[in-house]
Homo-oligomer: A and B are copies of this chain.
């Protein structure tokens, strides 16, 4: 029985076992929305604040349609008062008849609100700075002024029969009493959502958990969270916010936004699918993630980061010998994500000095050659020796294996019931299938 056949058998056995998912949501977190979160997709708002972003009307429409097709719950657009074209584009996207609800994001001013409600949006996201920093250096208003403006704008938007969210800005550097007061006030007058925003990217997960949990005890409306990624915690903060009872997370494709951006759509999908694969798979077309990222990356002229979750070129590449060995036996050993969920495939990198004899044995079988385990170990030593001298290609490894095989006195050519002819897919060992984790 070949390694691949053995693998299939193991895989079936795995299927039979019902496994508890130990890295899923904690069942004792009764507040948790990890299994029922929604996405507010902000590539066309926050993403427009990315240094390189200039979206033409056509490109905005193309992106909006792709996001809608992916399955995001809301699409947030730049304020219609930002520029005349921004207003026209907002109206155009509202007329597309997408499944996703369309939002626009405005300052907490009646001037902005009056323009926003005329665009045809399904809802308005209002924001105002509440931190000492922003109150002093941005709008210069005190909390009673902020509250008065908020109430006026909220009641106006509500009177138009569309959704309204009120968010503080820089929430994690705002006074907690100020925050809870204003959230309580706007909740009472009937906002659909309140928002917490880590505008500067300073928050850490335990802070997020505490703030969201506290806010959850104060308001009855939904809680939305917005996390910048300056200190690399935007995905983890989003996840922890959901655990604490937040319902909606702001994301953008590749995380593009002010500075180095916000919670990336793809990265959050990776985090959430590890927690509740079924919910994520039922809502979002994950196999379209790569195309969506490519569309936006091209529009803003950036490369997909080499280490991007899911779609980075090496996200499913296994290299060290002990990793390769275990992945060949069962991919779940070293993979929390299943590449096929995203229309991708894994790659076992066996052409290097860290390789092991199990990976080489699998390659020998793919080449339809017959070597004993001791012989495979011997040829592995040769491969590692060349790998010490220079980077190796698959051809290098194949040549060493074939030369070694030819040197053996009585080479046995396997019959055709082996793993079949070597095609490109097999050459990368990426045809290894995996049992399901959930």
* Cα distance A205–B322 in the bound complex, in angstroms: 27
Whether B330 and A85, one on each chain, are in contact in the complex, defined by CB atoms closer than 8 angstroms, is no
- List residues of chain A with CB under 8 Å of any chain B CB: 10, 22-23, 26, 48-52, 54, 78, 82-86, 107, 129, 131, 133-134, 136-138, 170, 172-173, 199-207, 209, 229-237, 239-240, 243, 254-256, 258-261, 264, 267-268, 270-271, 274-275, 302-303, 305-309, 312-323, 325-326, 329-330, 332-337, 347, 349, 352-354, 384-385, 387-391
Whether A231 and B267, one on each chain, are in contact in the complex, defined by CB atoms closer than 8 angstroms, is yes
Whether A306 and B302, one on each chain, are in contact in the complex, defined by CB atoms closer than 8 angstroms, is yes
Q: Which 10 A-B pairs have the closest CB atoms?
A: A236-B236, A305-B305, A85-B388, A232-B235, A205-B205, A232-B267, A137-B329, A23-B202, A51-B314, A54-B391
Q: Which of A204, A312, A317, A385 has the most CB of B within 10 A?
A: A204
* Cα distance A228–B32 in the bound complex, in angstroms: 24
Whether B230 and A337, one on each chain, are in contact in the complex, defined by CB atoms closer than 8 angstroms, is yes
CB-CB under 8 A for A271 and B232, given A78-B354, A261-B307, A308-B260:
yes
Q: With CB as the reference atom, state the residue of chain B lying closest to A337.
A: B230
Whether A307 and B134, one on each chain, are in contact in the complex, defined by CB atoms closer than 8 angstroms, is no
Whether A307 and B256, one on each chain, are in contact in the complex, defined by CB atoms closer than 8 angstroms, is yes
Whether B229 and A309, one on each chain, are in contact in the complex, defined by CB atoms closer than 8 angstroms, is yes
Whether B199 and A260, one on each chain, are in contact in the complex, defined by CB atoms closer than 8 angstroms, is no
* Cα distance A387–B264 in the bound complex, in angstroms: 26
Whether A320 and B354, one on each chain, are in contact in the complex, defined by CB atoms closer than 8 angstroms, is no
- The number of times this chain is found in the oligomer is 2
CB-CB under 8 A for A23 and B207, given A49-B319, A50-B314, A233-B236:
yes
30 residue pairs A–B, Cβ–Cβ below 8 Å: A23-B173, A49-B319, A49-B354, A51-B317, A54-B390, A83-B387, A83-B388, A85-B353, A133-B326, A134-B333, A138-B333, A170-B333, A200-B333, A200-B336, A201-B336, A204-B236, A204-B243, A229-B307, A232-B235, A232-B236, A232-B267, A232-B270, A232-B309, A259-B315, A259-B316, A260-B312, A260-B315, A302-B306, A303-B306, A305-B305
Q: Which of A82, A85, A303, A325 has the most CB of B within 10 A?
A: A82
Contacts of A86 in B (CB 8 A): 353, 388
Q: Which of A78, A306, A309 has the most CB of B within 10 A?
A: A306
Whether B308 and A243, one on each chain, are in contact in the complex, defined by CB atoms closer than 8 angstroms, is no
Q: With CB as the reference atom, state the residue of chain B lying closest to A205.
A: B205
